[in-house]
Structures are given as structure tokens and as C-alpha cells.
């Protein structure tokens, strides 16, 4: 699903920026020329310290988002309406967990171990997409997630798959292929409620109203407030600005919502016929940062469930451990 | 403390977590590279990696991760540590490969010579 459009950075990273100043200028120029030519960077290549740090942050948070994102949907497997929906939801949740594995591998090629990433997730040090800190109260929430959150993530992931780091691009190609099924099954379930009984339609409208703000938050704060993304764009770590991705999403999906007779809880939402851009009310960005800090409705539950799973899975990881196999540990090579 | 919508989550009694749990380095085992064969007779192609305690389990995880969609007839796994590769910085040693036309069929202009001979003997 779920490359959050917004990747959280800890404030006060001055130290790393100083490190960046110490990169060999000749190597840096060759590196930037290679990216400008459209070549991919591979794990064994020289790269600036800041490029490595930003990529680890990006890919790691993307991986966490896949794993945590499976939780609100996984909850609904036992209550999915009907056998076909249940099968599709199981398949989707399995895909998301698989995407987490692919992404952890891509991040590991940069030198951070999977164990360190999991610990940083559990301690709250590294983040995941904010959107999963909201509850999925009804089946309609699951259809809104499956259709619109996945759609938003696809906009982000398709952009990122054209980035400069080889292992991340390859993981995303595979992920985007599987996402096409997620989007279609989400759209199908969404339409079924939208065209169903008055009660179904009302349930969907209610879910849409509650999810609209988190969806508008999804791609992150407006361009005018976000800092230091120029270098990341030049290095092809960030492939599109927050506002551009948000606009692309609105352009593709708002008409698909309106055509079903549903409404969106923003009276200012419209496409400006002169500029071709979408206009909307600013979502509450203070709330967004509060939720990132850990104060959203489900932050604690999500992390507690992950901790429980790690803690209660340890015995089987240990039981399967073959110490004689562990002599040479390694990172993925590609 | 935890008031989840999911009764199964509430039954986990998550509030008993003391928050000190940490995964140990190495707890997620070793890394294996995975190679996927789409049909009999085709090459195995590298598709990614899995973490596993040994090669047998790596194959099972590889089937879940890389063999659950599209055609697949076979998978290989090999420990990442056992892959030997050239340094990427040495890629210039392959640089003049395209210049070695004497290694290519296109490097030999047979018809030109035949036509010249025929024109000459007429």
C-alpha cells in the first residue's frame, strides 16, 4: 500500500549536515552527474552520507508503514462481509506484510540491520504513515482505506519507483504491480456500498467524512512550509513535491467519488478551471504533527500490538535458530 | 488502558507491556538471495531476498514472498554472504567490450567481399 507521502525527519539534524560537508567533492560531483544521467545507484557504490541517511529514513518508514498498515485491515478479516471479500482481504494483508519485507531488505542494503529498524519502530524513534493512527470503525472504513489510501500510496510509490536507488526502485516495481489488485478490489468494495442500500451508503459517507482529513494529510505539509527538499529532488530521493502529488491524487480520485453521488467534507474543494489545479481548505496541520508525536487515537495500540507480536514471536525465532549457520552474517547484495 | 475496536486486541492485555522489549541483533537470522524461474528452460532470475535461519526455510519463505503471483516453476536460494561479485568501481574493465567487433558476427563483412569478387570476375 502505503508509502506515506510524508516522511518524518527529526528536527535538529545539524550534525549530519556537517558530515555532508565532508563528502569528497570529486566523488560527490561524479555521483550527482551519474544521477543526472538517469543511472541507478547500487549498494556498493560511493554515496554521500546524507543520501544514505535520507534513503534509510525513507525506505525504513515506508517498510514500517506496510507492516503497521496491515493492522487496521487485518482486524477486519474475521468480519469481512462474505467469502470473496474475506479471501481478497487476506490476500491483500499478506501482500502488505510482504511489501514490508521487500522494503526492509532494500533499507538493509544501506547498512542498517532489520533488528535495528524494528527496535526504532517499537521505541517510537522511527515513524510510519500517520494515516494508520486512525481507527477502522466499520467495514466502510476498510473500503475507504483499500480504495483511497491505497490510491494515494500508489501515486507516491509510482513516483518513487523512478528514483535513483536501485534496490528501492526494484522493490517498488514489484509492489506497484501488486497494488493494482489492491486498488481494484478496494474500488469494487467501495462501489458496492455506494450503490447499495441507504444504510450502506450512509455508512460509506460517514467513513469518507472521517477519513478525508487524514487523506489530505497523507502527502505531508504544503510545499511552502517544507524545508530542504531541493537536494533530495536533485538526488532523486524525493520525486515529486507534496502539493504536486496531492493534486495528482485529487485529480484522479475526486471525480471517482463524486460520480457515485457521495460528497466530501470540504466546501472549498474544486478544480480551478483556469489553473487546472485543485483548491481545498487547509487541513489541520497542528493535528497532523500532534498525531506524528504519538497523540493520535491509535498510536499506542498499533505499537503495543507490534511489540506483543515481536515479544511472543521470539520463542519460535529462537527455536528455529541454527547457530552454526550464523557465523557469517551478511546484508542483502542487491 | 487499551480500548481497541478489536476484541482480540483487548484480550491480549497489552497494558501489561512494560515497554522494555528489544529485538537482539541476529534474531532475524541470515539473508538469502532468491532466484525465480518463470518457466522450464528459462534462466533463474534474481528477484530479491528473504531472512531465514537456513536454506530450507529460506526456500519456504521465498515461495510465500516471490512465488505467490504470476508463473513460477522453481526457486533457488543462496546465502548473500556466498555471493562473490566484482567491485562496482571496476566496471571500466568491461568498457571496451562493444569495441571488440572481431568477437561479433557483424564484425565480418562477407557479402562485401563476395560481391567484389563477383564484380571482378565478370
Mean pLDDT by 10 residues, chain B (122 residues): 74 75 91 96 96 95 93 95 90 90 91 94 82
Question: Is residue A319 predicted with pLDDT exceeding 90?
Answer: yes
Which positions in chain B touch A45 (Cβ < 8 Å)?
Answer: 88-89
Residue in chain B closest to A304 (alpha carbons) equals B14
Q: Whose CA is closest to A155, among A110, A220, A91, A89?
A: A220
3-class secondary structure, A294: helix
Q: Is A238 left (phi over 0), alpha (psi -120 to 50) or beta?
A: beta
Q: State whether residue A68 is helix, strand or coil.
A: helix
Residue A2 lies in a domain: no
Number of separate domains in chain A: 1
Asked if B53's CB is within 8 angstroms of A325's CB, the reply is yes
Per-residue pLDDT tens over the stretch A57-114: 999 999 999 999 999 999 999 999 999 999 999 999 999 999 999 999 999 999 999 9
ipTM score of complex: 0.87
In angstroms, the CA A254 to CA A50 distance is 37
Give this prediction's pTM.
0.91
Q: Residue A3, by phi and psi: left (phi above 0), alpha (psi -120 to 50) or beta?
A: beta
CA distance B38 to chain A (A): 15
Query: What pLDDT shows up at residue B3?
Result: 72
User: What pLDDT does residue B7 have?
Assistant: 80
A203 within some domain: yes
Reported as a pLDDT band with limits 50, 70 and 90, residue A228 is low
Q: Does residue A9 fall inside a structural domain?
A: no
Measured between beta carbons, the chain B residues lying within 8 angstroms of A135 are 5
C-alpha cell belonging to residue A325: 549457520
The CATH number for A210's domain is 1.20.1260.10
Q: Locate the domains of chain B by residue range.
A: 28-82+92-121
B24 at interface of A, judged by CB pairs closer than 8 A: yes
- Give the residue numbers spanning the domain of A154: 14-325
- Helix or strand run (H / E) with residue B51: strand B44-52
Fold observed for domain B28-82+92-121: Ubiquitin-like (UB roll) (3.10.20)
Q: Which residues of A touch B24 (CB under 8 A)?
A: 115
Instruction: Give residue B1's pLDDT.
Output: 45
* Average model confidence (pLDDT) across chain A: 91
CB B9 to CB A122 under 8 A? no
Q: Which residues of A touch B83 (CB under 8 A)?
A: 333
Please answer yes or no on whether A105 and B80 come within 8 Å at the CB atom: no
pLDDT tens-place string over residues A29-53: 999 999 999 999 999 899 999 999 9
- Alpha carbon distance A98, A108 (integer Å): 15
Handedness of CA A170, A229, A10, B17 (dihedral sign): negative
Contact: B54, A322; criterion CB under 8 Å = yes
Q: Is residue A6 part of a domain?
A: no
Checking if the pLDDT of A4 tops 90, the result is: no
Is the CA virtual torsion A292, A298, A299, A303 positive or negative?
Answer: negative
- Which of A47, A67, A79, A102 to substitute to test the interface with B, most B CBs within 10 Å? A102
Amino acid at each position: 500500500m502505503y508509502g506515506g507521502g510524508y516522511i518524518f525527519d527529526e528536527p535538529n539534524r545539524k550534525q549530519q549536515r556537517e558530515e555532508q560537508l565532508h563528502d569528497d567533492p570529486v566523488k560527490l560531483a561524479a555521483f550527482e552527474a551519474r544521477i543526472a544521467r538517469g543511472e541507478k545507484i547500487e549498494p556498493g557504490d560511493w554515496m554521500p552520507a546524507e543520501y544514505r541517511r535520507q534513503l534509510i529514513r525513507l525506505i525504513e518508514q515506508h517498510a514500517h508503514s506496510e507492516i503497521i498498515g496491515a493492522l487496521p485491515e487485518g482486524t477486519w478479516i474475521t468480519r469481512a462481509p462474505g467469502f470473496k471479500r474475506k479471501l481478497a482481504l487476506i490476500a491483500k494483508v499478506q501482500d502488505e506484510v510482504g511489501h514490508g519485507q521487500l522494503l526492509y531488505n532494500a533499507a538493509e542494503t544501506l547498512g542498517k540491520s532489520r533488528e535495528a529498524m524494528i527496535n526504532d519502530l517499537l521505541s517510537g524513534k522511527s515513524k510510519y504513515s500517520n494515516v494508520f493512527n486512525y481507527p477502522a470503525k466499520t467495514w466502510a472504513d476498510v473500503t475507504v482505506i483499500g480504495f483511497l489510501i491505497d490510491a494515494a500510496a500508489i501515486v507516491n510509490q509510482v513516483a518513487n519507483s523512478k528514483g535513483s536507488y536501485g534496490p528501492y526502485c526494484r522493490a517498488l516495481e514489484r509492489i506497484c504491480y501488486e497494488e493494482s489488485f489492491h486498488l481494484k478490489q478496494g474500488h469494487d468494495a467501495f462501489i458496492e456500498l455506494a450503490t447499495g442500500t441507504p444504510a450502506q451508503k450512509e455508512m460509506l459517507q460517514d467513513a469518507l467524512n472521517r477519513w478525508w482529513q487524514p487523506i489530505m494529510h497523507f502527502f505531508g505539509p504544503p510545499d511552502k512550509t517544507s524545508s530542504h527538499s531541493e537536494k533530495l529532488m536533485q538526488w532523486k530521493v524525493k520525486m515529486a513535491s507534496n502539493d504536486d502529488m496531492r493534486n495528482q491524487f485529487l485529480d484522479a480520485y475526486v471525480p471517482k467519488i463524486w460520480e457515485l453521488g457521495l460528497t466530501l467534507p470540504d466546501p472549498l474543494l474544486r478544480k480551478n478551471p483556469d489553473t487546472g489545479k485543485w483548491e481545498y481548505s487547509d487541513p489541520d496541520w497542528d493535528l497532523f504533527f500532534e498525531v506524528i508525536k504519538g497523540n493520535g487515537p491509535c498510536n499506542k495500540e498499533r505499537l503495543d500490538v507490534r511489540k506483543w507480536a515481536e515479544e511472543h514471536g521470539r520463542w519460535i525465532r529462537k527455536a528455529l535458530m541454527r547457530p552454526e549457520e550464523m557465523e557469517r552474517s551478511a546484508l542483502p547484495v542487491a | 488502558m487499551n480500548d481497541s475496536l478489536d476484541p482480540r486486541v483487548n484480550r491480549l492485555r497489552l497494558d501489561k507491556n512494560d515497554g522494555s522489549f528489544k529485538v537482539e541483533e541476529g534474531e532475524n537470522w541470515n539473508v538469502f538471495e532468491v532466484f525465480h524461474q518463470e518457466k522450464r528452460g528459462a534462466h533463474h532470475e534474481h528477484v530479491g531476498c528473504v531472512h531465514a535461519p537456513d536454506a530450507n526455510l529460506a526456500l519456504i519463505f521465498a515461495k510465500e514472498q516471490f512465488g505467490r503471483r504470476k508463473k513460477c516453476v522453481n526457486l533457488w536460494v543462496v546465502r548473500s554472504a556466498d555471493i562473490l561479485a566484482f567491485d562496482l568501481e571496476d566496471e571500466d574493465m568491461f568498457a571496451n567490450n562493444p569495441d571488440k567487433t572481431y568477437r561479433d558476427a557483424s564484425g565480418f563483412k562477407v557479402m562485401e567481399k563476395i560481391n567484389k569478387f563477383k564484380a571482378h570476375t565478370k
